[in-house]
Structure 1
Amino acid sequence: MQCRKSKYWPSQAPTPLALTRSRQAWYALKDCSHLGSQALRIAGITSTGSSSDCGTAHAPHRDTEDNNADTPFDFTPENYERVHAILDRYPENYKTSAIIPLLDLAQRQHGGWLPLAAMNKVARIVDAKPIQVYEVATFYTMFNREKVGKYFIQLCGTTPCMICGSEEIKKTIEDHLGIKEGGASQLCCRC
């Protein structure tokens, strides 16, 4: 497919979810490699890699020993009380509205990341198809589908934040901690 100018201005850009549902729009933007990652950001996709690599936001799940559908996961008794309190906020026929707070609860219980088994548990609790829960978990950057460190630093990569200096902040953090983007540090503090 040849590159063509986007018909959207930044304020009219489709959401990432709309782009993933429209293959034509996704590939039209992805093939515009000469425009760089800015073209992807304008469309609402944050790219952490090259212009042809759309980062890990839409990376497929790969079963591992500690992250697969057969790995046991259940909420603690205290968190089951929270689950019931969360579900009580919504009408019976809108239980799927509780997906985000339940995923957050599962992630907090599981040490800052969200295993596949936890997403399946949330799907059973709200009577939803697992894919509906996976869509939410993969769409929002606040959900980590892989293990993260005790302190997890995220920086905004949108155009307004980059204009305001997010690249300099990123470089300062990398220099201070001695790591690169996506890396981990074993240091407690270098203050």
Structure 2
Amino acid sequence: MTTLLYWLFKYVLIGPFLRATGRPVISGRENFPASGAALLVGNHESVADWLFTPLLLPRRVTFLAKSDYFTGTGVRGMLSRWFFAGSGQYPIDRTNADAAQAALNAGMEVLGSGQILCIYPEGTRSPDGRLFRGKTGPARLALRAGVPIIPVGVKGTNEYIRSISRLRRPDRVQVIIGEPLDLTPWAGRE
């Protein structure tokens, strides 16, 4: 059911609105794998990053998302769970080191099934658009799973959110897919 919801959100319910308002463009699409597992690692400047990145890619993208999105109560909580699960989010607890290991295990599950996983190495959104120091989890995950890291840069989503909330036409959102990073020379030396 969640797979059906993912494609329904992408092509019918949310995608057309995002395409019309954000007029997104992508560069480096040739760096995105046609098959097999891969780890997308990107910057996270806005709540819209995880909407625009999969919108422009041909395969389903799964994200590790904070578990708060899945634990609400009442009608709002139910709708939140339905939306985040259906749109390719995987709930993780971010409270301590054990939770971090559980997140890596969840990522391994996604990658082990040959899917695309996207994570943000900073661990949270950047409040001012600057990149903060990333955590080592993406490299450890890619090494353990034996998959390439594909860098993803998203530009314009912060301005997109501000413009939409003020009912102005935003600038184009840009998604840049970098060349895959092969970490196999460091395998076994995590």
TM-score with structure 1 setting the length = 0.26
Higher strand share goes to which structure?
2
- Larger radius of gyration, structure 1 or 2? 1
Which of the pair has the greater relative contact order for Cα pairs under 8 Å at 6+ separation? 2
Higher helix share goes to which structure?
1
